[in-house]
């Protein structure tokens, strides 16, 4: 589950006039203020999570989250600027004020949706880290099993050579060599994975 508290979760994400009738300006203003606070909290939390993701998994793995947070921050910054214009010493007419408030809500909703888009992927990445020791142990068990099978196959091929000659073993000798190459690659990958999981 995601750890962020998002504007959509509190009901601010629906269109301001989803029920047909225009929302009173005071209510729209209250919504815009609340969605700004909620989105600001969501962006701050996501930035913290992004820092952990970058430290744990590297910049390349965290790139989708980096981009999503950057887009959300841009929408949030634009929304705050609109709020500042609304609160300055030069009041807007009601129509302009309504349009600006609706834009704040729309931009904050877009920011939140962008963060939610990558939240599930982020959670899967963190779950992978939590489950890495068990996954590594499972792979190592499978590796040992396959190593035993390849050793058995080598013995069988050697027996065929001894009994029937090199020509009889030739069709399958290449398969055993290929299996050995793949096991060597797997062993190298496991050697690289162990320190990362144990760190």
3-state secondary structure 150-188: HHHHHHHHHHHHHHHCHHHHHHHHHHHHHHHHHHHHHHH
For residue 17, what pLDDT is reported? 54
Cα separation, 10 vs 156, in Å, equals 67
Same-domain pairing of 98 and 178 = no
Same-domain pairing of 65 and 110 = yes
Tokens encoding 140: 């190592």
pLDDT tens digit sequence for 45-104: 999 888 888 887 788 888 889 999 999 999 999 999 999 999 988 888 999 999 999 999
For residue 157, what pLDDT is reported? 77
Give the confidence band of 175 by pLDDT, cuts at 50, 70, 90: confident
How many domains are contained in the chain? 2
> Which of the listed residues 104, 130, 156 is the one where a domain comes to its end?
130
pLDDT tens digit sequence for 34-62: 999 999 999 999 998 888 888 877 888 88
Q: With respect to residue 2, please indicate whether it lies within any of the assigned structural domains.
A: no
Same-domain pairing of 143 and 126 = no
């Amino acid at each position: 589950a995601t750890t962020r508290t998002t504007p959509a979760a509190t009901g601010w994400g629906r269109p301001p006039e989803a029920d047909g009738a225009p929302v009173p300006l005071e209510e729209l203003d209250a919504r815009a203020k609340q969605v700004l606070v909620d989105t600001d909290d969501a962006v701050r939390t996501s930035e913290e999570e992004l820092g952990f993701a970058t430290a744990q998994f590297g910049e390349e793995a965290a790139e989708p989250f980096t981009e999503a947070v950057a887009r959300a921050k841009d929408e949030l910054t634009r929304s705050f600027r609109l709020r500042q214009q609304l609160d300055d010493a030069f009041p807007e007419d009601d129509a302009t004020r309504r349009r600006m408030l609706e834009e704040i809500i729309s931009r904050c909703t877009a920011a939140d949706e962008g963060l939610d888009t990558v939240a599930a992927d982020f959670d899967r990445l963190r779950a992978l880290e939590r489950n890495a020791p068990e996954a590594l142990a499972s792979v190592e068990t499978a590796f040992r099993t396959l190593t035993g099978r390849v050793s058995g196959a080598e013995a069988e091929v050697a027996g065929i050579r001894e009994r029937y000659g090199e020509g009889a073993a030739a069709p399958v000798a290449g398969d055993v060599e290929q299996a050995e190459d793949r096991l060597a690659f797997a062993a190298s990958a496991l050697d690289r994975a162990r320190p990362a999981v144990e760190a």
